[in-house]
């Protein structure tokens, strides 16, 4: 059973508007969440993360929100730019600061930002 | 990522042949991972290593083995390649509490 779900395979947004990418998880023990961005023919690159002790983390145009009661997190990109067009992966783990902390990834959402 | 090199970048092989993919890191990270990416499945963990000679299985380890004899190198071996192992393979590394850093991938086609 999928522990991390990204239910929207794709999302199209106009340049300058907000992009909202969603992610749901089933394991209430997860304590650390990350977003990765992937361009074609490249490896995923780390974007932003959030610990379960917080409900929001911001880095420039990117903000991640965590709703633990709903087991839901979202990534907001404001304003969206054409260069943001990529596949975005949500990932979750528990005990990330410990010896293992393997990440469980969602299937990804392909974001297209139109000029 | 400049610190992770995967080789080869592309490979075509025949069913039943052995294949070894190599991951080399210059970051001196303790943990190394092999993932595969397939349409409709996202990134799935094959094997990982938490130190030299210390490895463990991930979610999709059947048909794969790994070895780590040095901190900087992590090898993934397909003992007898099958068409279901056609995929893009990513190596990743990290230190304790830090995000995963990925290589640029190896595209493997098994005919």
Q: Confirm if B6 and B105 have CB atoms less than 8 A apart.
A: yes
Region B31-45 average pLDDT: 93
Which of A34, A42, A98 shows the shortest C-beta gap to B104?
A42
pLDDT category at B61 given cuts 50, 70, 90 is very high
Query: Considering only CB atoms, which chain B residues are within 8 Å of A96?
Result: 97
pLDDT of residue B40: 85
Spacing of C-alpha A5 from chain mean position: 11
pLDDT of residue B2: 53
Coil, strand or helix at A45: strand
pLDDT category at A97 given cuts 50, 70, 90 is low
d(C-alpha B13, C-alpha B108), whole Å: 8
Geometric angle at alpha carbon B97, from A37 and B106, rounded to 5°: 45
Q: Is A44 close to B104, i.e. CB distance below 8 A? A: no
pLDDT category at B96 given cuts 50, 70, 90 is confident
pLDDT of residue B39: 87
CA-based nearest distance A60→chain B, Å = 18
As a whole number, the mean pLDDT across chain A is 93
Place of tokens 């990290």: B94
Q: Is A46 close to B33, i.e. CB distance below 8 A? A: no
Q: Is the pLDDT score of B4 beyond 80?
A: yes
Q: Is the pLDDT score of B21 beyond 70?
A: yes
Percent pLDDT > 90 in chain A is 86
d(C-alpha B59, C-alpha A36), whole Å: 20
Q: Is the pLDDT score of A99 beyond 60?
A: no
In chain A, the residue whose alpha carbon lies closest to the alpha carbon of B5 is A43
Instruction: Report CA-CA distances (Å) from B87 to A14, A52, B11, B12, B76.
Output: 32, 33, 10, 11, 13
Q: Is A44 close to B45, i.e. CB distance below 8 A? A: no
Q: Is A49 close to B97, i.e. CB distance below 8 A? A: no
pLDDT digits (tens, 9 = 90+) for A9-42: 999 999 999 999 999 999 999 989 999 999 999 9
pLDDT of residue A17: 98
Chain A residues 12-71 with a CB less than 8 Å from chain B: 34, 36, 41-46, 49
Percent pLDDT > 90 in chain B is 86
Query: Considering only CB atoms, which chain A residues are within 8 Å of B3?
Result: none
Strand ranges for B1-111 from DSSP E: 4-7, 10-13, 19-25, 31-38, 42-51, 54-57, 64-70, 73-78, 87-94, 101-102, 106-110
Substitution target in A44, A87, A110 with the highest count of B β-carbons within 10 Å is: A44
Region A74-83 average pLDDT: 98
Q: Is the pLDDT score of B88 beyond 70?
A: yes
Region B69-92 average pLDDT: 97
Q: Is A102 close to B45, i.e. CB distance below 8 A? A: yes
């Amino acid at each position: 059973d999928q522990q991390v779900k990204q239910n929207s395979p794709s999302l199209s947004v106009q340049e300058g508007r907000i992009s909202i990418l969603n992610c749901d998880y089933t394991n209430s023990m997860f304590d650390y969440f990350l977003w990765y961005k992937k361009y074609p023919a490249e490896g995923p690159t780390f974007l932003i993360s959030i610990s379960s002790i917080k409900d929001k983390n911001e880095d420039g145009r990117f903000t991640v929100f965590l709703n633990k009661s709903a087991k839901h997190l979202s990534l907001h990109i404001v304003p969206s730019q054409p260069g943001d067009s990529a596949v975005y992966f949500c990932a979750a783990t528990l005990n990330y600061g410990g010896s293992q902390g393997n990440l469980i990834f969602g299937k990804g959402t392909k974001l297209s930002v139109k000029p | 990522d400049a610190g992770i090199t995967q080789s080869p970048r592309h490979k075509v092989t025949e069913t039943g042949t052995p294949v070894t993919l190599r991951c080399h890191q210059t970051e001196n990270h303790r943990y190394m991972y092999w993932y595969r990416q397939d349409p409709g499945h996202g990134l799935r963990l094959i094997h990982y290593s938490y130190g030299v000679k210390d490895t463990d299985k991930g979610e999709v380890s059947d048909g794969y083995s790994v070895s780590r004899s040095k901190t900087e190198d992590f090898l993934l071996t397909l003992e007898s390649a099958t068409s279901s192992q056609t995929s893009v393979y990513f190596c990743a590394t990290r230190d304790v509490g830090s995000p995963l850093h990925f290589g640029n991938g190896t595209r493997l086609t098994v005919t």
